[in-house]
Structure 1
Amino acid sequence: MAKLDQSCDICMNLHVTKSASVWCSECEEAICEDCEPRHRIQKATKNHKTILIEDYQELPESITKITLECEDHNQKLDFYCSIHSEPCCARCVSEKHKYCRELKPLPEVVDGVKSSAAFSELQDRVNDMSQAIGQMIQDKTHNKSNLEVKKKTLIAEVERIRKAFNSHMDTKQGELLSKIGETKEREGEGDIIDSLLSKLSKFQAKVDEIADAVMKTKQYASNFQTFMGVNKWTREIGNQEKEIIAFQSDKSMANVDLQIKISPILKKFEKDVSEFGKIMKIEVNYSPRMKLVLRKDKQGQGLLAPSSKTK
């Protein structure tokens, strides 16, 4: 993103607009190329250090907002109170810090801060924190990638088991249908039973015919006719009895039945299908999370170490 063109503050006071080339942190002003030589030789500013305006614009906003002017009294901050950890102007000292014994000149306090142990430690802690977070991001990214691969593997495994189960059941279904087909073929698709029914129907018709003749003879025939009829029908009914007894003894008269024997395991599965979930289930395991160890607490440890407890 392009930086905004900074105007020279000195020229702006003269109602002239010029692009600034440097920034003076002590004056807190942007200075153009024309004004910069005067700023460099004037008694009040000759010891001020300037930086390129491009470098100043690289500073974060939280830093550029920090000024040498007291927000409460609009005066220059000249002192620093170590007790309250805050810079002070002359009025701040007289109003809020007159009993503080840790007041020091602000230039003395900030001198050499960039090469101080505190600044160096801050840099180290920031770098360590950045590395730790980077390692966490790398670890979780790797975990996410592995998890996606594992999901696909588990889905494929479940699919394989399902297909194997379906294939086995399809085979068993085929075997059962084949057995049923063999039974139908052996029974002539019901022709044998139909033939038996036809013969039995003829026996029934013959016996019914004799029964009807006997009844009508009893009602209307003479005794002589009845006597002769009884002899005739007794022989006929005897023949029918012999045929029925012989027919009943034939193996083809045995009733045919079909049954399926189901394993107790499958019966249990059919009765309580929820049990199937216990045969195969997905487990989600959590490894110990990585614990961040701050530089001040490290004492020779690595920055990241497994935590002894997980939540």
Structure 2
Amino acid sequence: MATAGLRDSDRDTAGYFIGECSVTQSCEPCMKNNVSKTSTVFCKDCDEFLCNACKNPHTVYKAGKHDIVKCQDSKSLPAGVDMKGLEICQEHGMEIYFFCHDHSKLCCSKCVLTHRKCDRLDEIAKAFEQKRPNLQAVKQSLIKFQSEADAIIEDCKHAESGLNDSIAKISSETDAMRDLLKKLHEDAKQKLLSEAKQFQTLEVRGIGNKLDETYNVKEEINKEVSMCCSVLDRGTPTQKYIYAMKIKEKLNTIESNLNKQHSINSSSSMTVSFPREITTLLEMGNNFIKLNCDGNKTGIL
């Protein structure tokens, strides 16, 4: 049977019990019997207000330890707290006094009108007595969640700091790679120029020898041209015949020497080539460096 039809006096008493615990409190066991009796003591372990008559049965028949203090000792009693609006019904803007077990809903006096046919509708004080919430467990859960939140915050700060450090490290590593490539390029260049100069020296020496030999052959040719012209212009028939016979051997020698110099190849230029790996790297442009991160180990961003 629902208890929604509570008398106004009982409702006031309940509200008085909940909202003004720092003033006069009613004995909770007496309230269960619809008796209004002012409490004189408070059991801190059971969180319950008691009158003098109920104090002894409470300590004798109720299991557990009982830390009993006088209600006048206000420092020992639980103080009211600012609930920050939690005690107000969000639907009607009125203070909450009841709990509907059927719908697991906290109710104000207006909500009671909607839940008056529910089988289990109790005052907050009665609902609290029937099933006291384990706020210590709630507190431990909150402390655990607080610790987890702190850990997440610490992880975020660590991740953010790590990202900042990574930026500096990436810059340092790429600069180091640039310096290494620059040094490698400079060393390769100096080696290449050294080889080129050595080749040039050998080629110039060969060109000089070829030039000298050719000049000698040309000087000999010039002599024979002069002699041939003289014989043709002023020589006797006998001289012409003798010269014609003699020059055959000379011509063979001159031709042989010229052919020999023709056969000697002389380089007039040098070029440089790069391995395919270098050209492939250049073709990649600024994508030749990859950024690796936790969620993208191999992809290029």
> How high is the TM-score relative to the length of structure 2?
0.49
Structure with the greater relative contact order (CA < 8 A, sep ≥ 6): 1 or 2? 2
> How high is the TM-score relative to the length of structure 1?
0.48
